[in-house]
């Protein structure tokens, strides 16, 4: 049986009225612009005139101006209480007005009337005045039935605000009250919550809408984020998603990305602190790509798509605002990097002749995942409009990687290659597998020891190391096949591909991490 919690409201003269849930009472919720409430008001007035000595009555109006209008028109013999804040209506879960509840001495609902059904109101009137004679109501003049109107407490313009303010709100973050003259957008800049671009103020209403997109508890700790070693709750991620401009449906992707970058394998502290300007690059796979309208085609690595742009930005804001990786603090990048604002894109699996990235990394095709890579540069364009053989095109791509980081940086870095659909079609025609492509890239990017020794700036230590191997020995640009990561994305038109420069894929660096996305 539902109950109504005690409340206190002022009438239109400022007099305080308290429902204590300790005596039988009738509480009726109304609003001025509801025709059904206006029909019910005289009946309610007759109830109160006849039974107010036996039972307490509370008539709750939902707007101050509406309450005054009803008083001016009907001159009721009772007070209308002001619930223009709608807190009592929300707490009572009022969906429709008028709603009349007959409550026992414990505040439990014994009877509820919603809208106006004449037989129900007549029966209640008879029950209330059983010993006092008939009510002064012309029942014949009243309609048999009228639907009620929507309560203002469930109106979309009010509901999220009320839910955020409710006692059971999942929000626990510290709330900051702005002064009346404060500009909320400038305030975000002043407080250091921004990456240098404007952010969306994370109001309780917006955060709650964001949290609706996940089944996880708002206070669940997703990870511990360096360098502050701060616990990252679902709520904190949701707040930064709002700041970034995400839609709620993007939240599960960002949660998974946070889980991925906070692993020891990825080493987010090292990624953000290095002078090389490394930053996470996110690749999304699986059905979620289309569900949230990600761009995997024309302009895939650029601007113009909300999901691509804001998901990557939200991850970086979590790293900044929760983890504490702030430029000039622990983030010591020599030049910075435009990708430190955002870099997130989906693989166009349907245009690929190979297994999708997440399948290659051990997940099911129907899984939705995000893979994070620590990249320090790019994307660099590789144009090849003339190669008709897959092997020739592979050599072009491999040769382009030789100067990655620098021409002498051999055997220790990694890369992320984004193959365009037209180039993927060339590989498909010759049935070139990913392992074969990697081997061709290895071969095309190799240099001999003699070439490396003759490179300007080669240190004595490097020369000694190389000379011990023999001048004719060929050294690979990358340490292993796993250092060459390959996905397909981009416009169907354009015989070009791109690659991102990696960081250090060793125990002191970072290795890619794939995380399954769950709601």
**Residue 165 predicted with pLDDT over 80:** no
Query: For 11-40, how does the pLDDT look when each residue is reduced to its tens digit (9 = 90+)?
Result: 999 999 999 878 889 999 999 999 999 999
pLDDT range class, residue 133, cuts 50, 70, 90: low
pTM of the model: 0.77
* pLDDT of res. 349: 98
- pLDDT tens per residue across span 324-362: 999 999 999 999 999 999 999 999 999 999 999 999 999
CATH fold for the domain made of 7-165: Glutaredoxin (3.40.30)
What's the pLDDT band for 118 if we cut at 50, 70, 90? very high
pLDDT at 388: 95
Terminus-to-terminus CA distance in the chain, angstroms?
33
What angle (nearest 5°) sits at the alpha carbon of residue 83, between those of residues 160 and 61?
A: 115
Q: Which residue has the tokens 């979590």?
A: 318
Does pLDDT of 372 surpass 60? yes
Yes or no: say if 58 and 19 are a contact pair by the CB < 8 Å rule: yes
Q: Is the pLDDT of residue 181 over 70?
A: yes
- Contact criterion met (CB below 8 Å) for 13 and 64: no
Judged against a pLDDT cut of 70, whether residue 130 lies above it is answered with no
Alpha helices in 267-418 (DSSP H): 268-273, 288-291, 306-321, 357-360, 390-400
Residue 131 confidence (pLDDT): 59
Q: Parse the chain into domains and list their residue ranges.
A: 7-165, 184-516
Residue 472 has pLDDT above 90, yes or no: no
Across the range 132-152, mean pLDDT stands at 88
* Rounded Cα distance, 345 and 133, in Å: 75
**Vertex 213, ends 207 and 219: CA angle to 5°?**
60
pLDDT of res. 252: 98
Question: For residue 1, is pLDDT > 60?
Answer: no
| Cα atoms in the 13 Å half-sphere on the side-chain side of 232 | 31
Helix (H) or strand (E) holding 196: none
DSSP state of 336: -
């Amino acid at each position: 049986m539902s109950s109504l919690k005690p409340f206190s409201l002022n009438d239109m003269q400022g007099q305080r009225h308290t429902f204590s849930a300790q005596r039988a009472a009738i509480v009726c919720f109304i609003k001025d612009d509801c025709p059904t409430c206006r029909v019910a008001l005289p009946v309610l007035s007759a109830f109160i005139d006849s039974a107010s000595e036996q039972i307490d009555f509370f008539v709750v109006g939902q707007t101050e101006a509406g309450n005054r209008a009803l008083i001016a028109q009907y001159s009721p013999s009772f007070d209308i209480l002001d619930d223009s804040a709608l807190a009592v209506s929300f707490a009572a879960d009022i969906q429709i007005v008028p709603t009349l509840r007959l409550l026992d001495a414990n505040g439990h609902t014994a009877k509820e009337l919603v809208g106006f059904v004449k037989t129900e109101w007549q029966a209640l009137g008879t029950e209330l005045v059983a010993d006092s004679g008939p009510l002064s109501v012309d029942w014949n003049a009243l309609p048999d039935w009228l639907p009620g109107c929507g309560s203002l407490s469930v109106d979309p313009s009010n509901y999220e605000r009320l839910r955020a303010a409710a006692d059971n709100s999942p929000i626990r973050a510290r709330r900051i009250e702005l002064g009346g003259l404060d500009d909320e957008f400038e305030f975000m800049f002043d407080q250091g919550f921004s990456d240098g671009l404007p952010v969306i103020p994370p109001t309780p209403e917006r955060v709650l809408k964001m949290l609706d997109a996940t089944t996880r508890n708002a206070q669940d700790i997703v990870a511990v984020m360096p360098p502050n070693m701060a616990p990252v709750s679902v709520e904190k991620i949701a707040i930064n998603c709002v700041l970034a401009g995400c839609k709620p449906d993007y939240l599960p992707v960002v949660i998974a990305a946070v889980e991925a970058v906070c692993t020891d394998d990825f080493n987010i502290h090292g990624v953000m602190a290095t002078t090389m300007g490394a930053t996470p690059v996110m690749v999304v796979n699986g059905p979620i790509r289309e569900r949230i309208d990600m761009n995997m085609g024309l302009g895939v690595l650029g601007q113009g798509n909300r999901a691509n742009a804001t998901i990557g930005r939200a991850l970086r804001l979590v790293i900044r605002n929760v983890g504490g990786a702030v430029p000039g603090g622990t983030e010591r990048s020599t030049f910075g990097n435009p990708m430190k604002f955002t870099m997130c894109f989906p693989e166009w699996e349907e245009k690929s002749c190979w297994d999708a990235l997440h399948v290659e990394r051990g997940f099911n095709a129907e899984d939705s995942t995000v893979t994070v890579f620590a990249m320090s540069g790019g994307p660099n364009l590789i144009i090849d409009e003339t190669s008709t053989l897959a092997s020739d095109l592979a050599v072009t791509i491999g040769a382009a990687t030789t100067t990655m980081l620098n021409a002498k940086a051999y055997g220790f870095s990694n890369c992320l290659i984004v193959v365009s659909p037209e180039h993927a079609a060339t590989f498909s025609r010759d049935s070139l597998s990913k392992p074969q492509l990697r081997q061709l890239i290895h071969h095309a990017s190799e240099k001999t020891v003699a070439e490396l020794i003759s490179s300007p700036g080669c240190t004595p230590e490097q020369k000694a190391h190389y000379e011990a191997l023999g001048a004719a020995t060929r050294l690979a640009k990358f340490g292993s096949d796993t250092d060459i990561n390959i996905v397909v994305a981009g416009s169907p038109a354009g015989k070009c591909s791109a690659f991102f420069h990696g960081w250090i894929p060793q125990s002191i660096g970072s290795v890619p991490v794939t995380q399954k996305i769950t709601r």
